[in-house]
Chain A
Amino acid sequence: GEDVEQSLFLSVREGDSSVINCTYTDSSSTYLYWYKQEPGAGLQLLTYIFSNMDMKQDQRLTVLLNKKDKHLSLRIADTQTGDSAIYFCAERRPGNTDKLIFGTGTRLQVFP
């Protein structure tokens, strides 16, 4: 099916690490993405990973990709209250369009 799956909610204490998980659908997807959406706003690209990589680190963000299990994760180190938002993973399948398939989103709540 076309469902990219994410857990709905994650609550963490400020300063801890957050790990948001995603299971995507197509093992031939070329790129996998993480987007952040704050209330009432559009999508902000956080990071992306090419399918031939298994890890990518960008400052506080670490992306892990397990192609065998079609599993993607986003780790946010030293989580801050400003990280509270909805996080979407997305996959891009091979083909002649740039179509992204998004998950349902994980709401991250950071408490002091």
Chain B
Amino acid sequence: ETGVTQSPTHLIKTRGQQVTLRCSSQSGHNTVSWYQQALGQGPQFIFQYYREEENGRGNFPPRFSGLQFPNYSSELNVNALELDDSALYLCASSKTSAPVAAFGPGTRLTVL
């Protein structure tokens, strides 16, 4: 069973740029969630995708957007990067309504 994978591992961008982060779900999982973890804090829910549509969103502005593909993999896109977007971005996959989600290792984004 392949776990959740994320790419890239690390990324450095400058303010105003755009970034795309990628996530491959664990085999058999159909739901993907994204979280932002700023340094020294707990993860914050960004949004969730099911059946290729966003079905839940946290307190993040529209410049955070996503996609889910037919194979259940997902992308997180962030436009107009700000310094405060520097964080570890975690992807989690699950079967709908299952109690446990599998987390990927994360992508560490640094915005200069």
Count of A-B residue pairs with CB < 8 Å: 63
Which B residues touch A98, using CB under 8 A? 31, 33, 48, 92, 94, 96-98, 101
Which one of B41, B97, B101 lies within 8 Å of A100 (CB-CB)?
B101
| B-side interface residues, number (CB < 8 Å) | 28
Q: Does B103 contact A (CB under 8 A)?
A: yes
Q: B-contacting residues of A (Cβ < 8 Å)? A: 4, 30-31, 35, 41-45, 48, 50, 88, 90, 92, 95-105
**Quick check: A97 and B56 within 8 Å, CB to CB?**
yes
A-B pairs with lowest CB-CB distance, top 5: A97-B56, A102-B42, A42-B105, A43-B103, A42-B106
Q: Given A4-B42, A31-B99, A48-B100, do A99 and B105 touch, yes or no (CB 8 Å)?
A: no
Which A residues touch B97, using CB under 8 A? 98
Centre residue among A4, A92, A95, A102 by max chain B CB count within 10 A: A102
Which one of A31, A42, A100, A105 lies within 8 Å of B45 (CB-CB)?
A100
Which one of A48, A95, A105 lies within 8 Å of B42 (CB-CB)?
A105
Q: A-contacting residues of B (Cβ < 8 Å)? A: 31, 33, 35, 40-45, 48, 55-56, 58, 88, 90, 92, 94, 96-106
Give the shortest distance, in Å, between A102 (CB) and chain B (any CB): 3
**Quick check: A99 and B56 within 8 Å, CB to CB?**
yes
**Quick check: A45 and B100 within 8 Å, CB to CB?**
yes
- Can you name 14 extra interface pairs (CB under 8 A) apart from A30-B99, A31-B99, A45-B100? A35-B103, A43-B43, A48-B100, A88-B42, A92-B99, A97-B33, A97-B56, A99-B48, A99-B56, A100-B33, A100-B101, A101-B45, A102-B42, A103-B42
Give the shortest distance, in Å, between B48 (CB) and chain A (any CB): 5
**Quick check: A97 and B55 within 8 Å, CB to CB?**
yes
A44 (CB) vs chain B CBs: closest residue: B103
**Quick check: A42 and B90 within 8 Å, CB to CB?**
yes
Give the shortest distance, in Å, between A104 (CB) and chain B (any CB): 5
